[in-house]
Each structure stands twice: as C-alpha cells, then as structure tokens.
Chain A
Amino acid sequence: ETGVTQTPRHLVMGMTNKKSLKCEQHLGHNAMYWYKQSAKKPLELMFVYSLEERVENNSVPSRFSPECPNSSHLFLHLHTLQPEDSALYLCASSQEQGLDGYTFGSGTRLTVV
C-alpha cells in the first residue's frame, strides 16, 4: 500500500443509482485530488482540495460531487451517471502544491451500466 487507500476497488452501478467513492491518506499531506483515467487519454484532473477547501474544479459535470470533510479523507459522490463515465478513478495526495510529486491510490474501477 502506498499510504493512499481507495474503496471500493471495483464498482458497477446503474445509471439511476447513487454511490460514493472513498479515499483516505495517512501521510500527513494537506492536498488531495481526484483524477479520471480513461484508456489512451491523458489523466483528467477533476477536483483539488487544499486544507479541506476546493481549489480546482475542472468543469466536471454536476453528477460528480466531491466532499472533503478533513485533510485525511476525500469522497466522490456519484448520481445519475452515464456509460461514458466508466473509467478508473484515481485519488492522490500531496504536500502543498505537489511539487515533490503525488502519492496515488490504486483506484476504483467504475462501470456504469
């Protein structure tokens, strides 16, 4: 384990379901991130939280809703998703702006049916 834990590892959900992805870090980092990874495409930055405040929101559809209750936990709430939202969702954490690099979790493989 890298110090960033994501659950669940796999998730299959219908388009009308509501589910949440969870990320937890025990590294003492103060910034956390959600990225979307689709095959043969660059990683897409979705949200950034620094000291529990959202500092980046990259035009992500409102069916994705992040939550950062404290500096160790990050959630991504999902509702009424589309099949094209199927992807690997990666959580990462860093100290400050991440100029020393990020630590990633193993991801949640999401399939929308």
Chain B
Amino acid sequence: AQSVAQPEDQVNVAEGNPLTVKCTYSVSGNPYLFWYVQYPNRGLQFLLKYITGDNLVKGSYGFEAEFNKSQTSFHLKKPSALVSDSALYFCAVSRTGGFKTIFGAGTRLFVKA
C-alpha cells in the first residue's frame, strides 16, 4: 500500500532564510513523487516531480526537492524564502500501473517578514 507522511503541521521561517518541508513515503516498486502548493481558496498547483534520474529536482518558483531512496524521503527546499511562499504544501506519491496518487495531510508554511 502507498502512504505519505508529512511530519510537520506547520513550518515557520524568516524571509530570506532557507526552508525545508519534510516528506517521507512508502510505496512498492519505484515511486513517482510530487509536490503541490495550495494558496487560500484555490486548488492545488503542481510544483515539481521526481520520476528517475538526478536526486535533486528543480521546480517552479525556485523550489527544489531531494529524493533520498535509502531514507524514503522527498523533502522540499528553497534557498531563500519569500513571504509570498506562505501556503499549504502537499507531498504525493504514485506508481506506474494505477491511477492512485496518494497525498499527505499537508504542511502549512509561514514565512515571516
């Protein structure tokens, strides 16, 4: 069975500082991993994905994520946070052969000016 864990309900960071939003996953076979962002009163927006290749994946708005197979993690990172990055972030995992993409509970990122 697939599962995703986002261990932090909320992450607080000062503007200009680096940020990390954590995600761990469980899936049989090779995982497809995703990050999405949700702003207030909006649906989820795709940020980036990992399928294969380099463990460091770059996405929209300066975000990147690092795939670590041994730790089954896919943490989201950004070198310098902006106030406008404040939002709800979802990690998701899928695999080939099915239509089920499983989402985590989300982590609220709060960037303080």
A-to-B contact residues, CB < 8 Å: 2, 4, 6, 31, 33, 35, 40-43, 45, 48, 50, 55-56, 90, 92, 97-107
Are A90 and B105 within 8 A (Cβ)?
Answer: no
A43 to B45, CA, bound (A): 14
- Do B101 and A102 touch across chains, with their CB atoms under 8 A apart? yes
> Is B44 within 8 A of A50, CB to CB?
no
B105 x A45 contact (CB < 8 A): no
The residue on B at minimum CB distance from A90 is B43
Extra A-B contacts (20), CB below 8 Å, given A41-B105, A55-B99, A105-B43: A2-B45, A40-B105, A40-B106, A42-B4, A42-B104, A42-B105, A43-B90, A90-B43, A90-B44, A92-B43, A92-B44, A97-B97, A98-B94, A99-B49, A100-B49, A101-B34, A101-B36, A102-B36, A106-B43, A107-B43
- Given the known inter-chain contacts A41-B105, A45-B101, please indicate yes or no for A99 contacting B46, CB distance below 8 A: no
Chain B residues, Cβ within 8 Å of A103: 46
A-B residue pair count with CB separations less than 8 angstroms: 65
Residues on B close to A: CB < 8 A? 4, 9, 32, 34, 36, 41-46, 49, 51, 90, 94, 96-106
Give the distance to chain B from A27, nearest Cβ to Cβ, in Å. Answer: 12
Measured in the bound complex, the distance between the Cα atoms of B34 and A57 in whole Å is 22
Listed A/B pairs (17) with beta-carbon separation below 8 Å = A4-B43, A33-B99, A35-B103, A41-B105, A42-B104, A43-B103, A45-B102, A56-B99, A56-B100, A90-B43, A98-B101, A99-B32, A99-B96, A101-B36, A102-B44, A104-B45, A107-B43
